[in-house]
Structure formats: C-alpha cells, structure tokens
Amino acid sequence: MSIDAYRGPAFTSEPLHKKGLLDDPFEQFRLWFAEAEEKCSNYANPMTLATCGKDGQPVARTVLLKGFDTRGFNFYTNYESRKGQQLAENPKASICFYWEELERQVIVIGQVEKMSAEESDDYFLTRPRGSQIGAHVSQQSQPIDNREVLEREAEELESSYFDKPVPRPSNWGGYRLVPQSIEFWQGQPDRLHDRLIYRKEKQVWSVTRHAP
C-alpha cells in the first residue's frame, strides 16, 4: 500500500472529557502510563525527545523514560552527546509518548535540569553490567571508524574491571524535564481528536481544551 493510499487508523475510543481528568496531571499520566504498560504490546516508556541548540535546528530521537514524579520526567544520557550539547545551550525540550493500542498521545513541554550526582549514581548501579561498560566506551555522537572499535574497547574495559564494580562515567547521567504544560490526546473518529492541556501558573494547574 502506498503512503498516499494509507489513511491511518479508524479511531474508536470513547471521548476524553475535561471532567474525566484528574486534577493532578502527574496522577493522570500515572493512570495512562499504567494502562499502556498493561495493554500495549510494546514497552510503554519509549518517548520522542526533541531538543534545539543555539543554531535553532530541532533534533528528535527516541529515548526511554526512566522515572517520573511531581518534579518531572527523567532520562539518562551522555552529557557530551548531541542532545547533551543542545541542552547545555538551550535547556528546554519536549517529549512525546504515543501508545497506538490505546489511541493516546502525551506531549510534555518544559525546562530541563540535570539530576543530582547521587540520583545518577543510584540509577547507574541498577543498569546491566554491559550497559555500564557501554556508557564508558561510547563517546556518543562522535564519529568512529567502525563497530570493531567499540567492541575492542568494551572488551578491554571489561577486562580492567573484571573483579570490581564499574563506576559511573563523569560525563554520563540524568536529566529531568520539568513540565510547563502536559497535553493528553485521545484519538477520535473523523480526526476530531480530543486535546486537553494542563498548564501551570503560580503553582496551580489549569486545563483547557484545544481544537485538534
């Protein structure tokens, strides 16, 4: 089937009403995320992260949500990667979750801050050992000659840490996106989708409906 012939899914979900939302957007997200974990065939935590440096060129990529609470949404990466460099220049970002089986999307826009060294250390200890080694080996976003370079360096590092824990690299750690707005999108027939957006003003969240 050509792209021109594909008209997308025929949405069948119940409408999303303002009165049906929880007052706290984080609790509303927790509810939707739990449903996605239960009902979606794929993982619920992949999210598109869009950043933009001082050159004004947006870049989007998929990363994994690694926790959230009332402070914001957490992810981890190399601080010297392209996203890390862009966030250093412009600490604003947006993330987007799309759960196809639920016909739902969540878009979060806000400021980004580095998580504490203690938080990054704690998370790094939970990672598989291979991922810990990989965080040291990969000079993320930098050109390399071939894959064998990575594999050789990983073997050498594994050998050097054979009988001891792998420490967190100083250039690797967590970021927290602190939301200024959180949009809950529910697909509807005839592209008359529901878009309800929480915005924070003076420490109070309000909700408005937007046209699809």
Catalytically active residues are 191
Strands 194-201 vs 172-186: parallel, antiparallel or unpaired: antiparallel
d(CA 75, CA 173): 8
Strands 46-52 vs 104-114: parallel, antiparallel or unpaired: unpaired
Using DSSP's 3-state secondary structure scheme, residue 59 falls into: strand
Helix (H) or strand (E) holding 38: helix 25-39
Task: Count CA atoms closer than 13 A to 11's CA, side-chain side.
Answer: 20
CA 82 to chain CA centroid, Å, is 15
Identify the sign of the CA torsion 35, 36, 40, 41.
negative
